[in-house]
Amino acid sequence: MVKKFAGVCFAVFALVLMGTGCSNLPSMQPTATLSPTQVVATPTPQPTQATEEISNVITLSIWLPPKFAPSQDSPAGVLLQNRLNEFNTLYPNLNVTYRIKAETGSASLLESLRLAHEAAPLVLPDLILIADENLSSTAEDQLIYPYPAPLTAEDDPDWFSIGYALSTFEQQTYFLPFAADAMIVTYNQLDMEAFPASWGDLLLSTQTIAFPPADPNAFFTIALYMAEGGSFTNEDDQLLLDEAPLAKIFNFYADLHTAELLPANPVQIDSDQLAWELLTSDQTNLAVSWSSQYFQSTNPVFLAAPLPTSDGIPFTLIESWGWAITASDPNEQAAAAELARFLSAPEFTGPWTEAAHLIPLRPSALNQWSRTADQNLANQIMPAAHAAPAASILSDVGNPLMDAVLDVLTDVQTPEAAAISAVEAVGN
């Protein structure tokens, strides 16, 4: 299917570059020749025969986090390296290079981007792969630029609804979604006849569940808070927390604790990895985990589902990554947009996400997975998916929420008092 978003980017890419003196760019003629494992998703430019020396080569630089590195060390790394090589072949005048940047620290991708933007603009990349939680801050600081054409359901229907929401900041498309990881519950199917989709069902099931109360990011609590309709800002964009949904969640935690449905010493569980290890060592029946952990598991007794909620309506929080344009030059922006489109095409993201144990944002990409059970789970997850709050919000609310949860589980405060404490801590 020819997508309008891709077509507009494609047209801008061709017209801008041809209009700026790069007359020896490859001819942009579509071809219907694909390998047997691919599906037709977007027109593929006809490769130019190397019959004469290529001049005026434009270098496109990409920055990526280490876990997305093109390499020969993993199936996903091989697929990405091959895809970049394919782009270089299709566009001889565009030479794609990449650099791997750390996710945290002074030399991280975002910190390096800020520093280069201020002090060394000539070393800035043209395209970066970032987490969606960093989209608003990088756009507000004008470190990234909007795409030439918006991503809309009318123009390009081949996205899950969360994909459109992720792509937009202040009504402009800054982010072309690439892959996602979803918070889920993994459980041992031998221990229960059906998954307890609501809090009440979970309490009645008498099955133990592991989640990380000591997680400084409080991701599980944040997910449940969002499922209960909790807000993080007021109409003046000031940070806040709502007391009522927090008290409801903390009462649920207290009920689990009182019913002895939490693992021993739950306040020592400070990461989803530890919760996962309790499940895999048969010390709990269910564990709050991530879809990437589940997809990597080879244990046939494990099944997974979206998070249990108070009303039983499926909900999940996702972390996602997408391509953002950092080039300031219009010609390079057009070229970077075409590269992002090429790297987001379903014929690539389908096999790549399956190899990387992540979830694609396009239904047609998910349809290419070979493992039917994983495909069915992802199709159940994505309609219930919601984006995580911005990184600035997560950093401000994580510790107060963690402290409140620990107080509830150690009987230092009642659920209602702990909710008030968290609200006051964030409001100060």
135-189 residue pLDDT tens? 999 999 999 999 988 899 988 999 999 999 999 999 999 999 999 999 999 999 9
Within-domain flag for 23: yes
One domain, residues 165 and 75: yes
Whether residue 391 is found in the same domain as residue 334: no
Q: What is the pLDDT of residue 55?
A: 55
> Following CA atoms 136, 140, 146, 152 in sequence, which dihedral angle do they give, to the nearest 10 degrees?
40
Q: With a cut of 60, say whether residue 23 has pLDDT above it.
A: no
Q: Which of the four pLDDT bands, split at 50, 70 and 90, describes residue 131?
A: very high
Query: In this structure, is residue 398 part of a structural domain?
Result: yes
Give the DSSP H/E element, type plus range, for residue 350: helix 346-356
Is there a single domain that holds both residue 422 and residue 302?
yes
Q: Return the pLDDT at 6.
A: 47
Is the domain of 335 the same as that of 423? Answer: no
pLDDT for res 44: 41
Confidence check: pLDDT of 280 > 50: yes
pLDDT of 291 above 60: yes
Q: Does residue 275 lie in a domain region? A: yes
Mean pLDDT of 380-395: 94
SS3 426: helix
Which pLDDT value is given to residue 122?
A: 85
**Which residues span the domain enclosing 393?**
181-317+385-427
Residue-level pLDDT at 1: 40
Average pLDDT on 15-29 reads 36
Could you tell me if 203 and 225 lie in one domain? yes
If one compares 130 and 41, the residue with the highest pLDDT of the two is: 130
- Answer with the residue of higher pLDDT: 33 or 134: 134
On whether both 375 and 339 belong to a single domain, the answer is: yes
Query: Any idea what the CATH number is for the domain that residue 415 is in?
Result: 3.40.190.10
Q: What is the pLDDT of residue 193?
A: 86
- Examine the pLDDT at 339 and tell me if it is beyond 90: yes
Judge whether residue 31 has pLDDT over 90. Answer: no
Contact 387, 135 (CB under 8 A): no
Q: Are residues 251 and 207 in the same domain?
A: yes
Measured distance CA(315)–CA(338) in Å, rounded? 34
Q: Rounded to an integer, what distance in angstroms lies between the CA atom of residue 151 and that of residue 188? A: 40
3-class state of residue 80 by DSSP: helix
d(CA 233, CA 242): 9
248 and 395 belong to one structural domain: yes
> Domain for residue 284, yes or no?
yes
**How many domains does the chain contain in total?**
2
Residue 38 above 70 pLDDT?
no
Quote the mean pLDDT of the chain.
88
Over residues 375-387, the pLDDT tens digits come to: 999 999 999 999 9
Q: What percent of the chain has pLDDT over 70?
A: 87
Pair 141, 151 in one domain: yes
pLDDT grade for 106, boundaries at 50, 70 and 90:
confident
Q: Is 151 exposed, middle or buried (0-12, 13-18, 19+ CB in 10 A)?
A: buried
Q: Whole-angstrom Cα distance, residue 45 to residue 94?
A: 13
Residue 366 belongs to some domain of the structure:
yes
- Give the CA angle between residues 383, 77, 334 to the nearest 5°: 70
Decide if 311 is inside a domain.
Answer: yes
Give domain status of residue 156, yes or no. Answer: yes
133 and 66 within one domain: yes
Model pLDDT for residues 255-270, shown as the tens digit of each residue = 999 999 999 999 999 9
Same domain, 254 and 371: no
Q: How far apart are CA 291 and CA 182, in angstroms?
A: 5
| pLDDT of 278 above 50 | yes
Per the domain annotation, does 289 fall within a domain? yes
Tally Cβ neighbours within 10 Å of residue 82.
13
DSSP 176: E
Q: Which residue has the tokens 């070979």?
A: 370
Place 370 in a pLDDT band, splitting at 50, 70 and 90: very high
Residues 107, 233 within the same domain: no
